[in-house]
């Protein structure tokens, strides 16, 4: 199988155990310049709705609970 076919996840992952969106937090959604983070209405947690990330990082650095992980592509590291 070609390697590219294995990339099925989006680059920004939210740890549902840490995310406190159900308590009203919207920090990552508010700081994202591309407006691609959303609240999952079923889980009440934040998630990446569109894979158009700029890897600018405020969602990860500003999240009060450290729930956001931005997985940088290899070429940007
Ligand atoms: S900033 Fe962190 S805690 Fe707040 S909604 Fe986003 S992922 Fe959840
Ligand atoms: S790294 Fe930037 S563009 Fe990507 S989700 Fe976070 S705030 Fe949005």
Q: Residues near 54 by Cβ (< 8 Å), separated by ≥ 6?
A: 33, 34
Q: Domain map of the chain by residue range?
A: 12-67
pLDDT for 64 beyond 80 = yes
Residue with tokens 């994202």: 32
What does the alpha-carbon distance between residue 38 and residue 26 come to, in Å, rounded to a whole number? Answer: 9
**For residue 2, what pLDDT band results from cuts at 50, 70 and 90?**
low
Answer yes or no: are the C-beta atoms of 45 and 55 closer than 8 Å: no
Q: Which CATH architecture has domain 12-67?
A: 2-Layer Sandwich (3.30)
Query: Ligand 2 test: best mutation among 10, 47, 58, most atoms within 8 Å of CB?
Result: 58
Token pair, residue 5, equals 């076919």
Residue with tokens 């569109």: 50
**For residue 9, what pLDDT band results from cuts at 50, 70 and 90?**
confident
Cα of 2 from ligand 2 centre, angstroms = 27
Q: Which ligand is nearest to the CA of 34?
A: 2
pLDDT for 76 beyond 50 = yes
Summarize pLDDT for 14-56 with one digit per residue, the tens: 999 999 999 999 999 999 999 999 999 999 999 999 999 999 9
């Amino acid at each position: 199988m070609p390697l590219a076919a294995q990339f099925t996840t989006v680059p920004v992952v939210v740890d549902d155990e840490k995310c406190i969106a159900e308590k009203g937090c919207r920090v990552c959604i508010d700081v994202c310049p591309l407006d691609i983070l959303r609240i999952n209405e079923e889980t009440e947690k934040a998630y990446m709705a569109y894979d158009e990330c700029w890897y600018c990082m405020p969602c990860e650095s500003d999240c009060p609970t450290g729930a956001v992980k931005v997985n940088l592509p290899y070429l940007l590291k």
